[in-house]
Amino acid sequence: MAAIFTPENIVAFLLISSFTAMFHLRWDRQSISIGPTILTTLGIFFCFLGIALGLLDFDANDVKGSLPQLLQGIRTAFWASVYGIGMALTIKGRRALFGTPALREGQTTGVTLGDVADQLARLNRAIAGDDDSTLISQIKLARSDSNERLGRLQVSFDNFVKVMAEANSKALIEALSNIINDFNNQLKEQFGENFKQLNSAVEKLVVWQAEYKSQLSDLITQETATRESMKIAADQFSTVVKLSETFSKTASDLSTLLNSLEIQKEQLLTLLRLLSDLVKEASGAVPKIEPSIIEMVRQISSGVVDSQKKLTAVLEEYARTTKENDQTFRTLLKAQMEAANKDLNSHIKQMSEDTKKQVVLLDKALQDELTKSIESLGKQLTALSQKFVQDYTPLTEQLRKLATELGRR
């Protein structure tokens, strides 16, 4: 109802209502004669006035903005015409129900009944005749013209919306393509060098693995040799210990022998002294046996000296052998200890180098993982860009359909 009572319609309704009230209050034959004609003419006037006002500010370049004003003017035209014809029908209905009013005193007839009939016939022809100038024909023509104009406006608006949608979608797709291409180029520039470094690092890692495998094999071989050397040294040390025990036992036996020899020496010396005394005492009595005794003493002395020499030689040989064995044992033990110490230092140094390499490898692995993460991020961004481009076409179609539906409404 708010769309009916526009300012233009209110003015038309008030003016037509004023004339209608005047004709009903006056209610004479002149009012019956000219009232419907005037009211109908006013309705037609406001009909064309509404159409003219709607087309007055119509802008062909802004169809969407001018279309509501045109529709408002057409609405004013039709409602004013309907109201004017309705008010004219009230006069005709009152005449039909209550008849023609009587002439007042001093009032002339003005027109005859035939004139009224002729006027009614002309009015009927003017309203519903076959001529193009009749009211109904004019209304039909105005309605057809309005429908035709509205159709052309709708077609123009649809074409405009279609062209704008295509132009906007094309421009947006081109802009997105340029942005995505720039984005991909920047990704290539930023991560291309990192990929090259990654390939070089992988190649170096493969070479290092081969070298590390060889070094590990050598280290295992050295460790095996060291273990064997330590085993041999342990065996030799056990042998030396056993020999030392033998030497100790031999030394103990020799000590006992020396003690026995010393006792025998003392006994021989005592015997010799006794014998010497005996010889001195018997030197005068037995001069003949002196040479024999002297020879016997000489032989005994020679035997004792030989025994002492042999014993001394044995002791010297034993001392020399013991000294050589001790020196050999010391040298062997020192060599084995130096070799073990050297192997231990080598193992410690190798373990330090391996630990350092493991730290370097850990750092490198962290860098590789970071590079892989960045590469994965680049791939995800690329996939997201491609997905955005793929999803944009259906979105454009939906926007175009939505714009078309809004234009139709």
Q: Clarify whether residues 119 and 225 are in a common domain.
A: no
Do residue 82 and residue 213 come from a single domain? no
Note whether 19 and 86 are within 8 A (CB).
no
Q: What's the pLDDT score for residue 392?
A: 58
Highest-confidence segment of 32-36, 65-69, 76-80, 187-191: 32-36
Least confident of 150-154, 165-169, 205-209: 205-209
- Report the distance separating Cα 407 and Cα 391, nearest Å: 25
Distinct helix (H) and strand (E) counts, the chain: 6, 0
Q: Which of 103, 124, 105 is nearest to 113 (CA)?
A: 103
Cβ burial of 44 (10 Å; 0-12, 13-18, 19+) is buried
Residues 208 and 122 in one domain: no
For residue 135, the surrounding DSSP H or E stretch is helix 135-282
The answer to the question of residue 274 being in a domain is yes
Q: Which residues contact 9 (CB under 8 A, 6 or more apart)?
A: 75, 76, 79, 80, 83
Phi, psi values for residue 186, rounded to 5° = -65, -40
Q: Are 385 and 187 in contact (CB under 8 A)?
A: no
Q: How many domains in the chain?
A: 2
Nearest-5° angle of CA 156, CA 157, CA 163? 90
Q: Are residues 221 and 343 in the same domain?
A: yes
Higher pLDDT, 198 or 235: 235
- The answer to whether position 73 is within a domain reads yes
264 and 401 together in one domain:
yes
pLDDT of the residue at 373: 66
List CB contacts of 350: < 8 A, sequence separation 6 or more: 219
C-alpha R_g of the chain:
72
292 lies in the same domain as 397: yes
Stretch among 73-77, 156-160, 167-171, 172-176 having the lowest mean pLDDT: 73-77
**Where does the pLDDT of residue 187 fall: very low under 50, low under 70, confident under 90, or very high at 90 and above?**
low
pLDDT score, position 267:
72
Asked if 81 and 210 sit in the same domain, the reply is: no
Same domain? 375 vs 252: yes
124 and 237 in a single domain? The answer is no
What CA–CA distance (Å, rounded) separates 140 from 43?
15
> In Å, how far are 142, 393, 396, 401, 403 from 158, measured between CA atoms?
24, 20, 16, 11, 9
Calpha distance 343→229 (Å, rounded): 10
* Residue ranges making up the domain that contains 277: 183-407
Mean pLDDT of the 18-26 span: 84
Q: Which of 141-145, 312-316, 342-346 has the highest mean pLDDT?
A: 141-145
Q: Is residue 152 part of a domain?
A: no
Q: Are residues 115 and 263 in the same domain?
A: no
The pLDDT confidence band at residue 309, using thresholds 50, 70 and 90, is confident
Residue 286: inside a domain, yes or no?
yes
Are 187 and 82 within one domain? no
Q: Looking at mean pLDDT, say which of 22-36, 283-297, 299-313, 323-337 comes out highest.
A: 22-36
Give CA–CA dist 134/136, Å, rounded.
6
* pLDDT for position 256: 73
Q: Would 139 be classed as within a structural domain?
A: no
Place of tokens 């020196």: 327
SS3 188: helix
Q: How far separated are the first and last CA of the chain, in Å rounded?
A: 19
Tell me, what's the pLDDT at 1? Answer: 54
Q: Is residue 210 part of a domain?
A: yes
Mean pLDDT value across residues 226-248: 67
pLDDT computed for residue 385 by the predictor: 62
Q: Are residues 230 and 351 in the same domain?
A: yes
Q: Tell me which of 335 and 314 has the higher pLDDT.
A: 335
- Whether 247 maps to a domain, the answer reads yes
Of the two residues 179 and 404, the one the predictor is more confident about is: 179
Mean pLDDT of the chain: 72
Q: Which residue has the tokens 């001392």?
A: 319
Question: Which residues, 6 or more positions from 71, have their beta carbon under 8 angstroms from its beta carbon?
Answer: 54
Confidence at 340, pLDDT banded by 50, 70, 90: low
The pLDDT of residue 206: 73
What percent of the chain has a predicted confidence (pLDDT) above 70? Answer: 57
Residue 42 in any domain: the answer is: yes
3-state secondary structure of 353: helix
